[in-house]
Structure 1
Amino acid sequence: MVLNCTEIDYVLKRYYLAPSYGIEFCIGFPSNLLVVLGYIFCLPKWHSCNIYLFNLAVSDLIFLCTLPRLSYLYANDQSETCPLACLINRYVLHVNLYSSILFMVWLSMDRFLLIRHPSRNHYLLKPRTALIVTGLSWLAVNVEVAPMIVLMIHDLQSENWNRCKDFASLKGHVNVLGYSLGLTLTGYILPLLGLCGFSHQIAHLLCVQEKALQNRSTSYKRPLRVAASTAVLFLVLYTPYHVLRNVRVASQEAWTGLQVCTKMYIEATYILTRPLAFLHSVINPVFYFFMGDKFKELLEAKFRKLVRMTERQRESI
């Protein structure tokens, strides 16, 4: 069967986006829920690292809750008919997208400072400071995403409130391409440079410490591997999405003079990058076990305690 170029987006949304979002929800939701509940019920003392990780998990959990509806709509070739649901979905999606990498920057900074100040005497390692940084981070991300909501409201009005579009397909009085490029710079490129910078600083500090230890058995390489893996993760997952999103937005401009099929091929390639970018919400829980303070051990201890309590209750019956 030969498809018309205008049918490519329909095929990808129904047979690619729908199952991809469904799988991401099925894997990511339980793991992030476990992390949130684990932090609430198992963590005896909160450090700065735990505050960043907890906010990251909450952000991922809220975002993942939007995927079942998207998956259902794409699978049944339906468009979002509720304007409020459309706005909430796009708002949550982009807030999560940019808060995730921002919180990872603070986590990398936290690991760097902890290696440099093992006694946690630096003011940036204090839980109160972490709460302030977290609040400012949420504020910054909301300020970045706010113009998108204005664009969406204007676009919904022009479509008589019955067609919900993706950010890359919006049109309005605001320069969408300029805004998209600015969001890419402030929300992705600058935080990514921060991640790479802290990874470099951690590597430099570890080299100095290893020389001072003179081949002792203590290893400080895990924080470096985690920080470097984080930078690589966002580089691999976010770069294709942001590049193709900007290309997609630019292709909608009249000055490009692109043919309809060319625009559809660009949109199709952009669609392919979307589940890849959102995959971070599924992978993030891995970092909780490596960057949290004995988080895995705390969960295992809590689980063993629950098992023992269950066995005692059975024996008493």
Structure 2
Amino acid sequence: MLNCTLIDDMLERYYLSPFYAIEFCVGFPGNLLVMLGYIFCLPKWQSCNIYLFSMAVSDLIFLCTFPRLTYLYSNDQSETSPYACVVNRYVLHVNLYSSILLMMWLSMDRFLLIKHPSRNHILLKPRTALIVTGLSWLMVNAEVAPMIDLMIQDLRSRNSSHCKDFASLKGDIDNLGYSLGLTVFGYILPLFGLCIFSYKISYLLRVQDRILPNRNTSFKRPLKVVTAATVIFLALYTPYHVMRNVRIASQQPWAKLEPCAKMYIEAMYIVTRPLAFLHSVINPIFHFCMGDKFRDLLLVKCRQLLRKTEQHREQT
């Protein structure tokens, strides 16, 4: 029989480590390509490009933390640097909640574009998108700030000897209440916004189809993209947030759970963590699905680079 106390160690070594390695190998090149494509290939930026570029930068920074995590988990080691511990958890949660928030603004942008094709709405202006993006980053940082304080308290209580996950932190802050609040304001409300704009886009397209049945149907692509984003975040984020709150609740004195029951809950929580982070791997797909212009410009630039490389080889 497998000792229940060894389950989390086995999952970290044989599940988290390879999963994080795969996510880094797939997600990092994709987000880097998108980021470079926006910088070098897109001459004129629109509001949606600002939201998508911010997501790509956030995902790229977040994925840079995976190689160290992979190394530590594969060698049964814990993070010994308190600074690296805090920065890693900070980047993780800022990316987690900024991604779904920016995707909500992107869905709003697509809805307004269908309603105002001439882009005369103030929220469709690039400058407005920059302001909204900046305020979104400030809001996410305000949401994550109490967690940083909680992490510092936990590290001090352990003499900075062990870097714990958010669900295992202990301090003066009510961890369960804070986690539930973060779930509501950081996840459920933006997801609700995604659902609302998805419905509004669908309703608006149905009305336009009745009025102009033979019109160009190219605007149906935003509905597919926004709906897909809603389903992806719902499928990836929900298990993580449910198990994180269950994991924290299982550690409360009033839970009165057996040690093995706590370990099984922690094991299920560990399983959901890399699944939630898959959004950083999937997000680059939205950059190519959102419009043809960026994709075409990127392909043209890649072909030009390939031609220059071939010509250089022929000359040498």
TM-score where L is the length of structure 1: 0.97
Q: Residues 46 and 293 from structure 1, CA distance in 2 versus in 1: closer, same or farther, beyond 3 angstroms?
A: farther
Structure 1 residue 205 corresponds to structure 2 residue 204? yes
Matches of 2:178 and 2:22, distance apart in 1: 31
- Answer yes or no: is the 8 Å Cα contact 1:49–1:292 preserved in 2: no
Matches of 2:195 and 2:58, distance apart in 1: 23
Matches of 2:311 and 2:76, distance apart in 1: 53
Match of 2:111 in 1: 112
Report how far residue 290 of structure 1 moved: 1.1
Matches of 1:304 and 1:47, distance apart in 2: 24
- Answer yes or no: is the 8 Å Cα contact 2:221–2:290 preserved in 1: no
Q: Number of aligned pairs?
A: 316
Give the 3-state SS of the residue equivalent to 2:119 in structure 1: coil
Where do 4+ consecutive residues of structure 1 move more than 4 Å?
311-317
Q: Deviations over 1:283-302 (max 9, x none)?
A: 00000001146211011111
Report how far residue 316 of structure 1 moved: 5.6
Report how far residue 248 of structure 1 moved: 0.2
The aligned amino acid for 2:222 is P
Matches of 2:114 and 2:190, distance apart in 1: 21
Matches of 1:109 and 1:313, distance apart in 2: 46
Matches of 1:298 and 1:122, distance apart in 2: 26
Matches of 1:271 and 1:307, distance apart in 2: 43
Q: Residues 219 and 48 from structure 1, CA distance in 2 versus in 1: closer, same or farther, beyond 3 angstroms?
A: closer
Match of 1:29 in 2: 28
- Answer yes or no: is the 8 Å Cα contact 1:43–1:298 preserved in 2: yes
Match of 1:271 in 2: 270
Match of 2:98 in 1: 99
- Answer yes or no: is the 8 Å Cα contact 1:250–1:256 preserved in 2: yes
Q: Deviations over 1:130-181 (max 9, x none)?
A: 0000000000000000000000000000001111000000011110000000
Structure 1 residue 180 corresponds to structure 2 residue 179? yes
Match of 1:260 in 2: 259
List aligned pairs for 1:197-236, cutoff 5 A: 197-216=196-215, 218-236=217-235
Matches of 2:302 and 2:192, distance apart in 1: 39
List aligned pairs for 1:302-317, cutoff 5 A: 302-313=301-312
TM-score where L is the length of structure 2: 0.98
Matches of 1:286 and 1:314, distance apart in 2: 32
Report how far residue 309 of structure 1 moved: 3.1
Structure 2, unaligned runs of 5 or more: none
Matches of 1:53 and 1:197, distance apart in 2: 20
Matches of 1:209 and 1:41, distance apart in 2: 36
- Answer yes or no: is the 8 Å Cα contact 1:50–1:292 preserved in 2: no
Matches of 2:105 and 2:95, distance apart in 1: 15
Matches of 1:150 and 1:50, distance apart in 2: 34
List aligned pairs for 1:294-305, cutoff 5 A: 294-305=293-304
Q: Deviations over 1:102-141 (max 9, x none)?
A: 0100110010000111111100000000000000000000
The alignment's C-alpha RMSD in Å is: 1.2
Give the 3-state SS of the residue equivalent to 2:282 in structure 1: helix
Matches of 2:220 and 2:151, distance apart in 1: 46
The aligned amino acid for 1:93 is L
Report how far residue 315 of structure 1 moved: 5.6
- Answer yes or no: is the 8 Å Cα contact 1:53–1:292 preserved in 2: no
